[in-house]
Structure 1
Amino acid sequence: MNSNYINAVSLTELYTGKDLGLQYGTLSSVFKVWAPSAFSVAVVVYETGGAESAAGPAGTVEDHGHVNLMRRNDNGVWQAEVAGDLKGKYYMYRAVYADGSMEEAADPYARAVSANGVRTAIVDLRDTDPEHWEQDVSPSLPHPADAVIYELHVRDFSAHQSSGMRYKGKFKAFTETGLRDAAGNMIGIDHLAELGITHVHLMPVFDYQTVDELNRPEAERPEAYYTDYNWGYDPQHYNVPEGSYSTDASDPGLRIREFKEMVQALHSQGIAVIMDVVYNHTYAVEKGPFEPLAPDYFYRRDYTGRLSNGSGVGNELATERPMVRKYIKDSLAYWATEYHIDGFRFDLMGLMDSVTMREITEELRLEVNPELLLYGEPWTGGDSPLATKTLKGVQRGKGYAVFNDNFRSAIKGDSDGWGRGFITGEHGREGAIASGIMGAIHDFTESPVETVNYVTAHDNLNLWDKLLAVQGLRQQARFPVMENGRLKDGGSVEAAVAAADPYVGVDPEHVLDNEIVRRSLLASGIILASQGIPFLNAGDELLRSKYGDHNSYRSSDAINAIRWSGKQVFQPVFRYYKGLIELRRAHPAFRLHGRQEIERSLQFLRCEGGVVSYMLKDHAGGDSWQHIVVIFNANTQPVIQDLTGVSGSWNVVVDHSGAGTEVLRRVEGQQVELEGLSMMVLYDRSSEPGPRAKVIEVHYERPDGQYQGWNLWVWGTGIQDGQNDFRQMEDGRAVARIEVLPDTQSIGYLLRLNDWEEKDGEGDRFIDCSSDDELIRVLVRDRESSEDGTVGDSLQLTS
């Protein structure tokens, strides 16, 4: 292979078409693959999937395949049309290079594969659609601030015996409704709907490498398949569902159908689906999805020519290169259209260049779904030569969000050790808590929906186990010492887990009186009452423990599975979470949309001595409650909060005893007392509904039809000034929606390309929004459409 091949790729070898891979037809199928450095390429059609033997690699079964030579186009794409109905067969690409070497590999654009991803499968995707799939509709997300995200691993959801599910560890477990525990509590998908979350964030569900999909005994597995369980951050085939979550991995179409059934079931409960995607590295390089057919192109290298390792696992994808960027955008668009996926979380997003992230956001929303939710990790796993990393702050005004680890650390302390934060007893974190409550708008965001607020995720100790560690109770809880999915000193993980007591000291009759329970509720309460997008880790509402395993990516179900029996034992905790989510979703004051809106509506009352309190005032966000006061007390002793000058009569809806929208008790006077390690939410009893924001809908028309990169720069909205993206196409025009205060008379705007690379027209322009209409529609044409060559003033359309 030519290690300097990357330098030889010319612009003529870049392909912009959207038809790479297999285009299946009943009379013939067309195959296209980008392999610009190959001397010749053939598509080899096989009768079998090549995974029937224990050894696993292609070609071990007596199936030599039918070789079909491909024709090379000028842009590096090889193409062949093969006659006949090939459904049910398999194929590989066989590339020969100038040095005489030959590689046979699966299609990088594979949409279906045999067991363990050995060969690309030929399926008719319409055969994989569940009944009524064409009527499946994604739940509406009017604004990103409305989301409440719940991170979940497919296997963890159903693997435990207490789930009562038939399809344990499978996609189909999400289709099982009507399940109850012995006490009548809803479990499974009904539990998710009852909890009130809006989005399930599924940890990787694309085809990954390390779990043997044929479920062979450990002694018979190939070395590559070393475990029964994995989180899935080891990509193999990016556009295919993971086979170990299917009821029959040897049936290429079944995993697709069952994945769609899962999405359909969640949508039917009003829950959107977010995919955790890993476009920063692959599990393997030489035997991975890209290197055999495009050697030395897809992977980033350091100044010595070696593979760079910003992922920490040996390689990183060169997202800044045009065909890598194209692959990622094609892949995301495919999941969003074929599988009705509603959003994406980007693993190690710091390793993805900022231009790729910007184009992903603009194009997917404009061309696929304007309500897609996009967010990621703004860090890397190690050093990388990439100059344009997508780190915290890069996302400002770009339409996607990043995880707020500043807020996370301020709330709980470090992730795996004894380090303390606000809720674990360290004073001095109050300012950082206040910054997080405001959506980090004075830290690294332009608007609150650019931050994902969380206290724990799948990585590191989960919330309950972190709190036990801080309190010095790990030994008393008899937690096993885990290492790479096994007991460090050997023995049975199942027996060690059975001997553990993660809820030491918790009285089932008085759960909410327990100190650690109170700290956990305070942590999640801060997240759910803050501006931005809240993110919960599955099972926190059941006080889930993973028995002190801080890196359970390859540990067994005994460690990872959600124990549904916890719902009855910790019913007050579940009701508290449910009540907080209900409160957030019912009251827009907790879901403000913009920087200016927060600065005007959120006033801090106290921020010292282990107490943070603030008021959401004057019908914030159009809320029906005039003034809302939120208080967090991280002290073990009660505190008094002064309410002088606001009101003398308050309704309490959240305190140490419960949470929700119903009044728990009334408070009269200018002070209120709240217990130690608790939160309180109370509102002014004299409340009446507040005015709603107006919306200006801008329709932008360009004769060339090229809208990529164009956006509005707006000011004077009173809610969120700055960049405003076009989110959808309507009648050939790009459409953006701008929220303004109800009494706004006019706003200013400019049309610009990306970050001021070009402007459409000269001078400031204005939109009259003095009417009482809640929706004002205007048409803006580009300068070439105007007689004098400048952008004309906006033309009002029919409301």
Structure 2
Amino acid sequence: MSDFNQLKGLEHTAYPIYEGYDLGLTYTPAGSKFKVWAPTAQQVHIALYSDAGVYDQEGIVQEHGGGQEFLMSRDDQGVWSIELEGDWNRYYYMYRLEWVDHTIHYAADPYARAVSANGQRTAIIDLDQTNPDGWEQDEGPVLERATDAIIYELHVRDFSMDPHFNTGIKDLSAAQGRFAAFTYTGLTDSEGNRIGLDHLLELGITHVHLLPVADFHTVNDFSELGTEYNWGYDPQHYNVPEGSYSSNPADPEARIRELKLLVQSLHAAGIGVIMDVVYNHTYSVEKGPFEPVVPGYYYRTDEQGKLTNGSGVGNEVATERPMVRKYIKDSLRYWAEEYHIDGFRFDLMALIDTPTVEQLTRELRSEIRPDLLIYGEPWTGGESPQPLLTLKGTQRDKGFAVFNDNYRSAIKGDSDGTGSGFATGAENQEERVLQGAFGAIYDFTAQPSETVNYVTAHDNLNLWDKILTVRHLREHCRFPQWEQGNPKDGRTAEQAVAEADPYQEMDESNLLENETVRKSLLANGLVLTSQGIPFIHAGDELLRSKYGDHNSYRSSDVVNAIRWNHKARFRPVFDYYKGLIALRRSHPAFRIDQRELVEQHMEVLQSNGHVVAFALRHHANGDAWNHIVVIYNGSDTEQTISLPAESDRWHVVVDAHGAGNETRYEVVGHRVTVSRWSMMVLYDQDGPPQASFLTEHDHQANEQVDNKTKGLDEGTNQEIAGTAMTDAQLGNDREVIPFRTIELIYERADRQYSGWNVWVWGTGYRDGHVEFQDLDDGRAIARIRVAPDVQRIGYIVRLNHWDAKDVEADRYIDVDLTQSVMQVLIHSGREEYLLLVNDDRAG
């Protein structure tokens, strides 16, 4: 044991590192190999059992002695191993570890892939026997880009615990609250509305994000269904499905097979599966998966050696340490390969150091599948000593995404109180909404694919209850005050829910006129029509309420279950969500994944007075629609908005009363009225995208046009006269509209212009990036083309790609319609501009 004695007393940085991929159990019918990394143990035995042990009243096995024990051997990398001949299928095992002080205890395998009920012993199984029929052909939907995803966050139990889910089909009641509920198709309510899996398919979402389904601690697998509830953020065995979601938690194979059937069923419907993973902390330290095997290694501590609490629940996993990082990557690889998982959402991702997130993203994408979705929460639950926290901004150009709480707050306000946002009546949120709508590329992302846009999730008040709270209607709806899953007034949850009415103020005969309904549709309408990855919480499309319970992780099913009878009751709301999702899926203009294309094709039309409006121009991202206008009205009165001048006939596909791809009616002219608390989407022309605006050719095509018209940018007579030119002169076949030119003359006191450029919008010609092309007497000049009838443009002088702004505020130029060339002088650091006299007139 000389190697161990050398390690004794050393810091964890001196521990050896093992790089193989075979930790845990490797089973074959001819023999089983066991490997565990325990570099500080003095001696390790494998203990094998023919049964799961004797459980006490709490569902715990207290005694693990009496098994067949075999001494394992240690290598230089701290790995103890043994290979046992024969078929050990359906046996159980534990590691018996002895320390230098001769203390002994038994521990489950940290790399356990199968366990007994409540995770008390590690199980030996043949994983091949858990594969459903046709598993080798199973695969999830393939994403061309991350922004094609539409994520639906769902708790396994919530999906099917409503009594209305049980439609009388034989054996369906046994599946309620479990993995198996996802395998039933053809379910309908009494009025013929699809529920269950078919509801998800009809809604049109692309991915189901399942709250944690890996084995967690606080629900006793033997408890009667309905007596215990949890969201699953209390991990126990990271590589094993949760037993309480299984039809038989005492059978180690059942939960594995049934989770695979869930995945297979969703994949057959064309829906991907995202796992919520909780690698930032464990429920228990002493009884967790790590501490009994390598004491002190897997958790962060302060200078006094005390556990740090960045998670807010008492500990945080030291993800930056090599063998912890390896464990996380091995675990993710296993889920992706063995269970065909399509993506991972990281709980408290900030606590996972950025190099670890960057490595796992790169390796999973390159070695498993390139379109795996990877995203997480860029915040902590408390103070952490980790210097490389994965916060907003750290994801730039690293391939993973983070939740956009900036946008969330801009839309709804605070999470649990009466604070309001754009969709709930707040003032001065327009610019924050625009930042979200633009994929946060002017906030914290490098590309729109790095932001997950959402309003509510499982945490905090859900959307309906939040809006009622802002409107001070909680008391009117008779919501109780909740504490630890129960009403404070002593009633049972069932009594309180029965006596409450979340829809008290609603006229159900005129559903889409209701203020709370409109605000909820507007809130998620913003999410579904913004650049980035949209994420909605299960049940929003059914006006789901949790009766004011803002933290329902331990509340009963009567609070948490999705009520399937609401689909018929609130069918127009479901149809509205369905229409918005169909619109997004049909039109790539809403799914841009490159910053340059956002800058080129998106133009701000209005951003004030509780109104945000923008255009997606010129077949954005290869869209069939030429110009698309999106308008959000966050006010309590109807608003009249100016439409782009290029077209005078617009097709309305979304308004306060419906959403989808089909034209609801047409607007003739350049103004449209948008109802209170609602949104509108319009387009002008439908047809194939122009060649120069195809997604894959955008950048190159623009460079070619710029090069061919360079002479015009120097101020030729053709441009000054505003003469209409044809694309034949530029190597194309179609006519180009005439334009005016604004010469933006920029003056800096330091005369340092390297990297500075202009971003413009509202030009009616080509918005986005414009370079300063000349230097004249210590000034830089940018020439901006403007459509003839445009009266005002917006601009920002910026350094590189938003490394800095010359002035923080958006600036605007009122166009002189009498001039074909207009010269404007701006000084660095000043908001105002000077209009220079130019005698040339447009005639």
Same topology, TM > 0.5:
yes
Which residue type is aligned with residue 571 of structure 1?
R
Please report how far the alpha carbon of residue 59 of structure 1 lies from its aligned counterpart in structure 2 after TM superposition: 4.7
Equivalent position to 1:175, from 178, 183, 189: 183
Label 1:673 to 1:87 Cα distance change in 2 as closer, same or farther (>3 A): same
Q: Is the 8 A contact 1:627 1:687 kept in 2?
A: no
Give per-residue Cα distances to partners, 1:619-647, cap 9 Å, x unaligned. 11011110000000011111101115221
Q: Is the 8 A contact 1:50 1:57 kept in 2?
A: no
After superposition, where does 1:235-246 map in structure 2 within 5 Å? 235-246=235-246
Please report how far the alpha carbon of residue 491 of structure 1 lies from its aligned counterpart in structure 2 after TM superposition: 2.4
Give per-residue Cα distances to partners, 1:290-328, cap 9 Å, x unaligned. 001111000001122100000000000000000000000
Label 1:686 to 1:288 Cα distance change in 2 as closer, same or farther (>3 A): closer
Any idea what SS the aligned residue of 1:154 has?
A: coil
Number of aligned residue pairs: give it. 694
Equivalent position to 1:79, from 68, 81, 91: 81
After superposition, where does 1:652-663 map in structure 2 within 5 Å? 652-663=652-663
Equivalent position to 2:49, from 41, 46, 62: 46
Q: Is the 8 A contact 1:24 1:123 kept in 2?
A: yes
Please report how far the alpha carbon of residue 11 of structure 1 lies from its aligned counterpart in structure 2 after TM superposition: 6.1
Which residue type is aligned with residue 111 of structure 1?
R
Q: Is the 8 A contact 2:461 2:550 kept in 1?
A: yes
Which residue type is aligned with residue 109 of structure 1?
Y
Equivalent residue number for residue 219 of structure 2: 211
Equivalent residue number for residue 91 of structure 1: 93
Please report how far the alpha carbon of residue 690 of structure 1 lies from its aligned counterpart in structure 2 after TM superposition: 3.6
Any idea what SS the aligned residue of 1:385 has?
A: coil
Equivalent position to 1:35, from 38, 63, 74: 38
Please report how far the alpha carbon of residue 717 of structure 1 lies from its aligned counterpart in structure 2 after TM superposition: 9.5
For normalisation by structure 1, the TM-score amounts to: 0.85
Equivalent residue number for residue 113 of structure 1: 115
Between the aligned partners of 2:673 and 2:115, the Cα distance in structure 1 is 62
Equivalent residue number for residue 20 of structure 1: 23
After superposition, where does 1:440-459 map in structure 2 within 5 Å? 440-459=440-459
Q: Is the 8 A contact 2:55 2:62 kept in 1?
A: no
Between the aligned partners of 2:183 and 2:575, the Cα distance in structure 1 is 24
Give per-residue Cα distances to partners, 1:639-693, cap 9 Å, x unaligned. 1011152210010000011000000001101111111111000000365434474
Any idea what SS the aligned residue of 1:637 has?
A: coil
Equivalent residue number for residue 207 of structure 2: 199
Q: Does 1:680 align with 2:680?
A: yes
Equivalent residue number for residue 303 of structure 2: 303
Give per-residue Cα distances to partners, 1:245-279, cap 9 Å, x unaligned. 00110000000000000000000000000000000
Which residue type is aligned with residue 318 of structure 2?
A
Between the aligned partners of 2:624 and 2:654, the Cα distance in structure 1 is 17
Please report how far the alpha carbon of residue 47 of structure 1 lies from its aligned counterpart in structure 2 after TM superposition: 1.3
Q: Is the 8 A contact 2:110 2:289 kept in 1?
A: yes
Q: Is the 8 A contact 1:39 1:98 kept in 2?
A: yes
Give per-residue Cα distances to partners, 1:458-513, cap 9 Å, x unaligned. 00000000000000100011112211112212222111101110011212211101
Equivalent residue number for residue 758 of structure 2: none
RMSD over equivalenced CA pairs, Å:
2.0
Between the aligned partners of 2:8 and 2:664, the Cα distance in structure 1 is 69
Equivalent residue number for residue 130 of structure 1: 132
Between the aligned partners of 2:702 and 2:264, the Cα distance in structure 1 is 39
Any idea what SS the aligned residue of 1:24 has?
A: strand
After superposition, where does 1:376-455 map in structure 2 within 5 Å? 376-455=376-455
Which residue type is aligned with residue 490 of structure 2?
G
Between the aligned partners of 1:265 and 1:6, the Cα distance in structure 2 is 52
Q: Is the 8 A contact 2:298 2:324 kept in 1?
A: yes
Between the aligned partners of 1:143 and 1:51, the Cα distance in structure 2 is 51
Which residue type is aligned with residue 209 of structure 1?
H
Label 1:605 to 1:297 Cα distance change in 2 as closer, same or farther (>3 A): same
Between the aligned partners of 1:694 and 1:454, the Cα distance in structure 2 is 26
After superposition, where does 1:635-646 map in structure 2 within 5 Å? 635-646=635-646
For normalisation by structure 2, the TM-score amounts to: 0.80
Task: Calculate percent identity across the aligned residue pairs.
Answer: 58
Label 1:217 to 1:529 Cα distance change in 2 as closer, same or farther (>3 A): closer
Between the aligned partners of 2:59 and 2:466, the Cα distance in structure 1 is 41
Between the aligned partners of 2:694 and 2:80, the Cα distance in structure 1 is 54
Give per-residue Cα distances to partners, 1:104-152, cap 9 Å, x unaligned. 1000000000000000011100110011111111111111010000000
Q: Does 1:573 align with 2:581?
A: no
Please report how far the alpha carbon of residue 8 of structure 1 lies from its aligned counterpart in structure 2 after TM superposition: 3.7
Between the aligned partners of 1:646 and 1:299, the Cα distance in structure 2 is 61
Which residue type is aligned with residue 446 of structure 1?
A
Label 1:283 to 1:688 Cα distance change in 2 as closer, same or farther (>3 A): same
Please report how far the alpha carbon of residue 101 of structure 1 lies from its aligned counterpart in structure 2 after TM superposition: 1.1
Q: Which has the larger radius of gyration?
A: 2
Which residue type is aligned with residue 448 of structure 2?
P
Moved more, 136-145 or 657-666: 136-145
Any idea what SS the aligned residue of 2:375 has?
A: strand
Which residue type is aligned with residue 99 of structure 2?
Y
Which residue type is aligned with residue 32 of structure 1?
K
Moved more, 649-658 or 687-696: 687-696
Label 1:718 to 1:273 Cα distance change in 2 as closer, same or farther (>3 A): farther
Which residue type is aligned with residue 537 of structure 1?
H
Between the aligned partners of 1:124 and 1:525, the Cα distance in structure 2 is 47
Label 1:629 to 1:5 Cα distance change in 2 as closer, same or farther (>3 A): farther
Moved more, 486-495 or 316-325: 486-495
Label 1:89 to 1:181 Cα distance change in 2 as closer, same or farther (>3 A): same
Equivalent residue number for residue 363 of structure 1: 363
Any idea what SS the aligned residue of 1:475 has?
A: coil
Equivalent residue number for residue 255 of structure 2: 255
Please report how far the alpha carbon of residue 360 of structure 1 lies from its aligned counterpart in structure 2 after TM superposition: 0.5
Please report how far the alpha carbon of residue 46 of structure 1 lies from its aligned counterpart in structure 2 after TM superposition: 0.8
Which residue type is aligned with residue 473 of structure 2?
L
Which residue type is aligned with residue 121 of structure 1?
A
Which structure 1 residue ranges, 5 or more long, are not aligned? 219-226, 697-713, 720-742, 745-799
Please report how far the alpha carbon of residue 545 of structure 1 lies from its aligned counterpart in structure 2 after TM superposition: 0.2
Between the aligned partners of 1:217 and 1:168, the Cα distance in structure 2 is 9
Q: Is the 8 A contact 1:596 1:718 kept in 2?
A: no
Q: Is the 8 A contact 1:91 1:120 kept in 2?
A: yes
Label 1:310 to 1:7 Cα distance change in 2 as closer, same or farther (>3 A): farther
Structure with the bigger RCO (C-alpha within 8 Å, sep 6+) is 1
Q: Is the 8 A contact 2:622 2:695 kept in 1?
A: no
Any idea what SS the aligned residue of 1:247 has?
A: coil
Q: Is the 8 A contact 1:45 1:66 kept in 2?
A: yes
Label 1:51 to 1:246 Cα distance change in 2 as closer, same or farther (>3 A): farther
After superposition, where does 1:614-763 map in structure 2 within 5 Å? 614-685=614-685, 687-691=687-691, 693=694
After superposition, where does 1:149-548 map in structure 2 within 5 Å? 149-164=151-166, 165-166=172-173, 167-215=175-223, 228-548=228-548
Q: Is the 8 A contact 1:12 1:74 kept in 2?
A: no
Which residue type is aligned with residue 181 of structure 1?
D
Moved more, 164-173 or 270-279: 164-173
Between the aligned partners of 2:446 and 2:666, the Cα distance in structure 1 is 38
Q: Is the 8 A contact 1:623 1:690 kept in 2?
A: no
Any idea what SS the aligned residue of 1:511 has?
A: helix
Between the aligned partners of 2:500 and 2:455, the Cα distance in structure 1 is 24
Which residue type is aligned with residue 13 of structure 1?
P
Any idea what SS the aligned residue of 1:423 has?
A: helix
Which residue type is aligned with residue 252 of structure 2?
P
Which residue type is aligned with residue 29 of structure 1?
S
Give per-residue Cα distances to partners, 1:510-559, cap 9 Å, x unaligned. 11010100000000000000000000000000000000000000000010
Between the aligned partners of 1:136 and 1:587, the Cα distance in structure 2 is 28
Between the aligned partners of 1:204 and 1:12, the Cα distance in structure 2 is 31
